[in-house]
C-alpha cells in the first residue's frame, strides 16, 4: 500500500460493481465462450495451439499491485521474444505496432478484449469505473510527478477519459481530477457519476471505434 492513504471504497460503489458486473458477466457469457473458442482456433491455425487464451499483466489499482486479465489478443511469439530479452512489455505499444492476432484486431476495435476484467471487478481488484490501471513502469513515472489517481481509487474497466472518444482538449489528468472530486462526495453520488461514464462509454462502443 502506498502513501498517502487511498480513498475508501464506498459500499454503494462496491454493491453497484458486484451487481452490475455479475449481471454483465452472465449476459456476456455466450460472447465469452465464443471469443475464447475463436482465439483457441486461431492459435491452432497458426501452429501454436498451446498459446495462452488470456494475457495477464501486473498493474496498479488503488496503490496495490494485482494481475489484470484480458483476452490474449497479441502475437505470442513477439511477447515471448520480448520477455526472453527482458524488455518491459507495454501492451499499447504492441497494439500500435500491429502485433495482434486477427481475432484480437476485431476485439480491440470493439473494446471486448477487456471482457475478462469483469473477474477482476468481482474480486474487488478493480471497479467498473475508475482511472485505468497502469503497469509498474508507467506508475513509477506518474508517481514521480505527483500522486496519480490510480493510487487513490480502484482502477476501472472504463473511466472519464476513456468515455470520451474526442476529448476536445481535455486531458486525462483533468478528467480524472474531476472524477476524484466527484468521488469524494461519497455514497450514491459516486454511483451516479459511474453510471454517466458507463452510458458515455456505451455510446463509444456502439460506434465500434475502440476506446
Alpha-carbon span 191 to 146, nearest angstrom: 26
Q: What is the pLDDT of residue 24?
A: 95
What's phi and psi for 59, nearest 5 deg?
-135, 170
What are the helix (H) ranges across the chain? 11-27, 29-45, 76-84, 91-96, 102-109, 117-122, 136-144, 172-183, 187-206
- Contact (CB, 8 A) for 116 and 70: yes
Q: What is the pLDDT of residue 34?
A: 97
Q: What is the pLDDT of residue 5?
A: 86
Alpha-carbon span 111 to 109, nearest angstrom: 6
Q: What is the pLDDT of residues 123-161, one digit of tens each?
A: 999 999 999 999 999 999 998 888 889 999 999 999 988
Q: What is the pLDDT of residue 173?
A: 77
Comparing CA positions, the residue from 71, 38, 42 lying closest to residue 57 is: 71
Q: What is the pLDDT of residue 39?
A: 97
CA 120 to chain centre: 9
State whether the Cα torsion 124-128-129-130 is positive or negative: positive
- Percent of the chain residues past pLDDT 90, beyond the cut: 67
Q: What is the pLDDT of residues 180-201, one digit of tens each?
A: 999 999 999 999 999 999 999 8
Alpha-carbon span 139 to 53, nearest angstrom: 26
Q: What is the pLDDT of residues 36-63, one digit of tens each?
A: 999 999 999 999 999 999 999 999 999 9
State the distance between the two ends of the chain, measured CA to CA, in whole angstroms: 29
Alpha-carbon span 47 to 94, nearest angstrom: 21
Q: What is the pLDDT of residues 17-35, one digit of tens each?
A: 999 999 999 999 999 999 9
- HSE-up of residue 172 (Cα within 13 Å, Cβ side): 11
Domain coordinates in residue numbering, the chain: 11-204
CA 99 to chain centre: 19
Q: What is the pLDDT of residue 166?
A: 61
Amino acid at each position: 500500500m502506498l502513501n498517502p492513504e487511498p480513498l475508501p471504497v464506498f459500499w454503494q460503489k462496491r454493491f453497484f460493481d458486484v451487481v452490475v458486473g455479475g449481471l454483465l458477466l452472465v449476459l456476456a457469457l455466450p460472447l465469452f465462450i465464443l471469443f475464447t473458442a475463436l482465439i483457441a482456433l486461431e492459435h491452432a491455425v497458426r501452429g501454436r495451439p498451446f498459446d495462452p487464451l488470456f494475457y495477464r499483466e501486473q498493474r496498479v489499482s488503488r496503490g496495490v499491485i494485482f494481475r489484470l486479465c484480458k483476452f490474449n489478443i497479441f502475437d505470442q511469439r513477439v511477447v515471448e521474444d520480448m520477455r526472453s530479452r527482458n524488455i518491459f512489455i507495454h501492451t499499447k505499444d504492441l497494439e500500435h505496432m500491429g502485433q495482434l492476432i486477427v481475432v484480437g484486431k476485431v476485439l480491440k476495435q470493439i473494446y471486448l478484449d477487456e471482457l475478462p476484467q469483469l473477474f477482476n471487478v468481482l474480486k474487488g481488484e478493480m471497479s467498473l469505473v475508475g482511472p485505468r490501471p497502469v503497469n509498474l513502469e508507467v506508475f513509477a513515472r506518474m508517481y514521480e510527478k505527483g500522486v496519480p489517481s490510480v493510487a487513490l481509487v480502484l482502477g476501472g474497466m472504463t473511466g472519464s477519459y476513456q468515455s470520451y472518444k474526442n476529448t476536445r482538449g481535455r486531458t486525462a489528468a483533468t478528467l480524472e481530477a474531476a472524477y476524484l472530486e466527484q468521488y469524494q462526495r461519497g455514497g450514491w453520488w459516486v454511483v451516479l457519476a459511474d453510471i454517466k461514464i458507463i452510458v458515455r462509454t456505451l455510446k463509444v462502443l456502439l460506434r465500434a471505434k475502440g476506446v
